Amino acid sequence: MSDKIALIVGAGPAGLTAAYELVTRTDIKPIIFEADIQVGGISKTVNYKGNRIDIGGHRFFSKSDRVMNWWAKVLPLEAGVGEGAESITVSYQNKSREIDARQAGADPEQTDEVMLVRSRVSRILFGRKFYDYPIKFAPRTFANLGIGRSLTIFASYGRARLFPIKPELTLEDFVINRFGKTLYETFFEKYTEKVWGVPCAEIPADWGAQRIKGVSISGLIRHALGKLKPRRASISQKEVETSLIERFLYPKHGPGQLWETVARNITDAGGELHFNTRVVGVNHDGGRITSVEIERDGKRETIAGDMVFSSMPIQELISGWMPAAPASVRAVSDGLTYRDFITVGVLLKQVTLGQGAQAHNLAERLPDNWIYVQESDVKVGRLQLFNNWSPYLVADPATIWMGLEYFVNEADEFWQTDDAKIIEFATKELKQLGVSQPEDLLDAVVVRTKKAYPAYFGSYDKFDQIQNYVMQFENLYCVGRNGMHRYNNQDHSILTAMVAVDGIAQGRDLRRAMWDVNTEQDYHEGK
């Protein structure tokens, strides 16, 4: 290993990917600084008395073969999955081929080092009735909606197609143009406003282009018709829009397990990982980063390096700049906004709801990975059923391990409320939704996550000023969701780090290309 050092801020997906790629493909030594006590960032797994919480839910699925292969290399696929012919596309000597996942790897009953293949089930709760997500044009959907609302939805959609809103300035415009106003108000508006805390009419259309650009009524119909045609099942599903995928990979013990494995591989290969270490300053000479300032154990220290990968919130990066960034750049940085996140993990008895022929075991009634709560009379935005992500996330399979997700800001009263009151509030909301009764609660925990979602409002419309400024520093690589202030999926955060290391390994500056890695782009396959 050479004398070159890469300083990596943050041990989330982007930071760990950068470190892994450096330590396996170059002779540069990565030194990672992580402010938390565990790796994974918002992709970590929180272990509470043997019950594991996946913060926000992480489906391991990507349209990039490179990312899918990378995951499968870190944790082998489970063998013998499903009754059909499950497969995944992998690369072998620069050629793609499909391998049979039934023969691919390990038995989860025999080892923890395994990637499960899971079925995706998501639904929307609206009017105390369940609707498939994405919406399916099925008899049950129309029965739940009623004839009047169903006809209004079709009329509204027709009007949107004939007379679209142009130009699309807001997220509201974006969704109405693709689904019609009635469907937008029924299934999109309330949930999205819970997530971001502002009306959809105040969110730029960029958010839709980033997250849901491939979803439309016509796309849903094509997907439904495509399922009628027999074909070999593939985990890759590259032809399927991300929101419509029906299978995904998932580490046996949650997303954090994969990143813990990656971290071990990095340190085994000679990299360093420092926990409880916060980067509080970045020193530069006007064209290059020279060192970072860290704080750990109450002491401040300067660490020099040849390059810096930053996955910390870019707002914090700019605030620690020394000498300071120009006032115009600092103003844009200070105006960036974030959405914070609270997960209330509740352990419930395996209760039976209803009576007689209508009685259903809770696990049977709720087969979902997650449920989007479109109801306006409760604060909870989404329910996660951790049993259905992986049965190994639950200490006792005779219980239901559920996460209630609340989208908040740090300054909110709810964020600052003590845990016991938040648990009491969440328990009451479960009763209000008809999911469970307070007496069904066995245990609970509150997990707070700061800056979980970079927002596309505030000063975001001037973000190009920050991007252009950080690009002036030839040895600085901003990667990942918060490092680039983009609401990326996990795989796109990974790709930004991969592209950065590609440039270093090839002696090229690919930092502009990093910013081209975006949701729904087959970056490596299409470039």
The 3-state secondary structure of 239-260 reads: CCCHHHCCEEEEECCCHHHHHH
Q: Are strands 5-9 and 307-310 parallel, antiparallel or unpaired?
A: parallel
Q: Is residue 346 part of a domain?
A: yes
246 close to 134: Cβ distance less than 8 angstroms = no
Is the pLDDT reported for residue 501 higher than 90? yes
Residues 348 and 446 in one domain: yes
Distance CA 443, CA 430 (A): 14
- CB-based burial label for 198 (10 Å; 0-12, 13-18, 19+): middle
Give the total number of structural domains in the chain. 3
Distance CA 522, CA 66 (A): 10
pLDDT band at 229 (very low <50, low <70, confident <90, very high): low
Residues 442 and 350 in one domain: yes
Residues 387 and 427 in one domain: yes
The mean per-residue pLDDT over the stretch 419-425 comes to: 98
User: What region, left, alpha or beta, does residue 480 occupy, with left being phi > 0 and alpha being psi -120 to 50 degrees?
Assistant: left
Is the pLDDT reported for residue 61 higher than 50? yes
Reduced 3-state DSSP string for 289-352:
EEEEEEEECCEEEEEECCEEEECCCHHHHHHCEECCCCHHHHHHHHHEEEEEEEEEEEEEECCE
Is the pLDDT reported for residue 33 higher than 80? yes
Residues 200 and 348 in one domain: no
The mean per-residue pLDDT over the stretch 172-192 comes to: 90
Please report the pLDDT score of residue 2 as a whole number. 66
Q: Is residue 142 part of a domain?
A: yes
Is the pLDDT reported for residue 218 higher than 60? no
Residues in contact with 41: Cβ distance below 8 Å, sequence separation at least 6, in sequence order? 10, 11, 12, 13, 15, 311, 480
The CATH number given to whatever domain includes residue 450 is 3.90.660.20
pLDDT band at 15 (very low <50, low <70, confident <90, very high): very high
pLDDT band at 215 (very low <50, low <70, confident <90, very high): low
Of 356-365, 390-399, 401-410, 487-496, where does mean pLDDT reach its minimum? 356-365
What percent of the chain shows pLDDT beyond 70? 84
Residue closest to 30 by CA, chosen among 312, 268, 340, 298: 268
Residues 278 and 408 in one domain: no
Q: Is residue 67 part of a domain?
A: no
Please report the pLDDT score of residue 45 as a whole number. 98
The mean per-residue pLDDT over the stretch 112-124 comes to: 92
Q: Is residue 20 part of a domain?
A: yes
Is the pLDDT reported for residue 248 higher than 50? yes
Q: Is residue 320 part of a domain?
A: yes
Which tens digit of pLDDT belongs to each residue from 423-449? 999 999 999 999 999 999 999 999 999
Q: Are strands 115-119 and 122-126 parallel, antiparallel or unpaired?
A: unpaired
Domain termination residue (choose one: 426, 455, 484): 455
Q: Is residue 107 part of a domain?
A: no
The mean per-residue pLDDT over the stretch 368-373 comes to: 94
pLDDT band at 214 (very low <50, low <70, confident <90, very high): low
- CB-based burial label for 37 (10 Å; 0-12, 13-18, 19+): exposed
Residues 440 and 462 in one domain: no
Residues 281 and 137 in one domain: no
For the chain, the average pLDDT equals 87
Residues 461 and 421 in one domain: no
The mean per-residue pLDDT over the stretch 28-57 comes to: 97
Please report the pLDDT score of residue 209 as a whole number. 61
Please report the pLDDT score of residue 206 as a whole number. 73
Residues 359 and 494 in one domain: no
Task: Give the full edge-to-edge strand order of the sheet including 382-385.
Answer: 129-132, 122-126, 370-373, 382-385, 399-408, 336-349, 441-458
Residues 346 and 275 in one domain: no
Distance CA 197, CA 416 (A): 17
Domain termination residue (choose one: 436, 455, 474): 455
The mean per-residue pLDDT over the stretch 102-128 comes to: 85
In this structure, which long-range contacts are made by residues 102-111, counting pairs with CB atoms below 8 Å and at least 24 apart in sequence? 103/79, 104/72, 104/76, 104/77, 104/78, 104/79, 105/76, 105/77, 105/78, 105/79, 106/76, 106/78, 106/79, 107/78, 107/79, 107/80, 108/78, 108/252, 108/392
Residues 195 and 303 in one domain: no
Residues 411 and 467 in one domain: no
Q: Please, what's the b/e burial string for 120-155 (b: 16 or more CB within 10 A of its CB; e: otherwise)?
A: bbbbbbbeeebbebbbeeeeebeebbeeeebebbee
Q: Please, what's the b/e burial string for 302-323 (b: 16 or more CB within 10 A of its CB; e: otherwise)?
A: ebebbbbbbbbbbbbbbbbbee
Is the pLDDT reported for residue 340 higher than 80? yes
pLDDT band at 133 (very low <50, low <70, confident <90, very high): confident
Residues in contact with 85: Cβ distance below 8 Å, sequence separation at least 6, in sequence order? 100, 102, 232, 233
Please report the pLDDT score of residue 89 as a whole number. 47
Please report the pLDDT score of residue 358 as a whole number. 65
The CATH number given to whatever domain includes residue 296 is 3.50.50.60
The mean per-residue pLDDT over the stretch 62-72 comes to: 91
131 close to 124: Cβ distance less than 8 angstroms = yes
In terms of pLDDT, which residue wins out, 30 or 168?
Answer: 30
Beta strands in 350-389 (DSSP E): 352-353, 360-361, 370-373, 382-385
Please report the pLDDT score of residue 527 as a whole number. 35
Q: Is residue 47 part of a domain?
A: no
Tokens, residue 75: 């944790």
Of 135-149, 202-216, 486-500, where does mean pLDDT reach its minimum? 202-216
Which tens digit of pLDDT belongs to each residue from 447-473? 999 999 999 889 999 999 999 999 999
Of 295-299, 360-364, 370-374, 504-508, where does mean pLDDT reach its minimum? 360-364
pLDDT band at 297 (very low <50, low <70, confident <90, very high): very high
The mean per-residue pLDDT over the stretch 401-414 comes to: 97
What's the domain range around 364?
338-455
- Name the pTM for this structure: 0.88
pLDDT band at 79 (very low <50, low <70, confident <90, very high): confident
Q: Is residue 33 part of a domain?
A: yes
Domain termination residue (choose one: 424, 455, 486): 455
Distance CA 390, CA 403 (A): 14
